[in-house]
Every structure is written in structure tokens, then in C-alpha cells.
Amino acid sequence: MEFGLLHLAGTFDRYWRQEVGSDTDVLMAYATGMPAYLVHAVVVDAVRLTDSAVPDWAIETLWSLGTEERHVLRKEGEAARDWLRLVSGLYQDHLRTHAPDSSTDVAPSPYVHLTGAVLDEVRLVMPLMPDPPVGPISKRYIPGVGRALEQVALQACPDLAFRFLLEALRVLGPQISRGQFDRYRALGVELEYDEFFVAGCYDHLVSD
């Protein structure tokens, strides 16, 4: 099961404006509808990104990827870090009020030792991502995803970068080799994901 910022981003579906209203309403609907551990997972991602040296453009790019461009911060008049601070602040307040036994603390990533492995996979798959469209758009293209993933892996958290890498595969749809897929599964184990986190969601992208 997805978690963290990507899980939140997925709630911005194509009908969010009509069915929920404002983007703040979407945030609060998530908080009230999800268990405390998932709300805290969003806080962890948001705080780690906010406090990192990841540039704002990279945060904007990956949020657009996560929402499949249904909530684009620049178009909404939101600065990247202001948005993350809004998210983490709302959710920390929610947890203190509605789940007082839940932690609101954010520790440094315990997966820094996997930075090199995640970077290797990012740099290997990025040349397979779609080129800018020419003429009628037949496939999704979000510029800067590869560089944004590198920034997050290096400056914030390789765990978050890996989850966004998997999202890039899902949204942008390049085919990967069996060897790449097996390495993703191994990384999932190192990151303590559920055994089906990678295997159950991305095996259809394997080309051989």
C-alpha cells in the first residue's frame, strides 16, 4: 500500500474540485479519513523535504508527478515549501488533537546508506522516460523528473526518492528489464516495505 506524500497526492483525482472544494479541504478530508499512522507518514515526508536542501522546482515537479498534474502548485499560486509547511502543520495539529498517543516527531531518514543504490536506479531508468511530445500529445510528459529524483535522493531521503521513482514508472510508463525489477524488489526489502509493495504493482512494466 502506498503511503506518505504520494498517498496524499493520489487523493487529488480528476474530480477533487467538484467533489471536495479547496485543496485545504482535500487535506483535511485525508486527515479525518485515514488512520493516524498514514497521516504521520505524510508529516515525515513533508518535514524531511521542507528541511532539506532540495530546490523548490524539484518539489513542485514531484508533486505534479504524484497528482498526475491535477494539482500543480505553481498554477494554484502555492510556493513549494509553503505547501509542505501547510500540510505538515495541519497534520501535526490533527494528530495532537485526534490521536494524542501518536508521535508527531520526525527523525532523520534511517536509509541514507541506500542513497547510492537508489541513485543508480534513477540514473539507469531516466533515459527510458518519454521525450517531450511533438505534435499531438499521445503520452504524458513531465519535465525534470529525473533531476528532481536525484535531488531528493541526495538531499532529503532515498526512501522518498525511490517511491517517487516507482510513481514515475507508473505514470510515465517506460518498460524496464527483469534485472531492474528484481533490484527494485530487493530495495523494497531493504526499505522494509510490504513484500507486495513492488511485486504486486509494477511487474506489468517488465519487458522481458
pLDDT digits (tens, 9 = 90+) for 139-157: 567 888 999 999 999 999 9
Give the domain-ending residue among 98, 124, 153.
Answer: 98
Give the domain-ending residue among 98, 123, 140.
Answer: 98
Residues 151 and 196 in one domain: yes
Cα–Cα distance for residue pair 172/165, rounded to 1 Å:
10
Question: Is position 107 within any domain?
Answer: no
Residues 82 and 138 in one domain: no
Cα–Cα distance for residue pair 102/98, rounded to 1 Å:
9
Q: Answer yes or no: are the C-beta atoms of 123 and 113 closer than 8 Å.
A: no
Residues 118 and 90 in one domain: no
**pLDDT (average), residues 39-50:** 96
Question: Is position 103 within any domain?
Answer: no
Residues 9 and 93 in one domain: yes
Cα–Cα distance for residue pair 16/129, rounded to 1 Å:
28
Say whether pLDDT at 133 is over 80: no
Q: Answer yes or no: are the C-beta atoms of 193 and 169 closer than 8 Å.
A: no
pTM: 0.89
- Whole-Å CA distances, 112 to 73, 97, 119: 28, 32, 11
Question: Is position 105 within any domain?
Answer: no
Question: Is position 130 within any domain?
Answer: yes
Percent of the chain topping pLDDT 90? 60
Cα–Cα distance for residue pair 129/146, rounded to 1 Å:
9
The torsion of the CA quartet 67, 69, 71, 73, rounded to 10 degrees, works out to 110
Q: Among 88-97, 117-126, 127-136, 141-150, which is the least confidently predicted range? A: 127-136
Question: Is position 124 within any domain?
Answer: yes
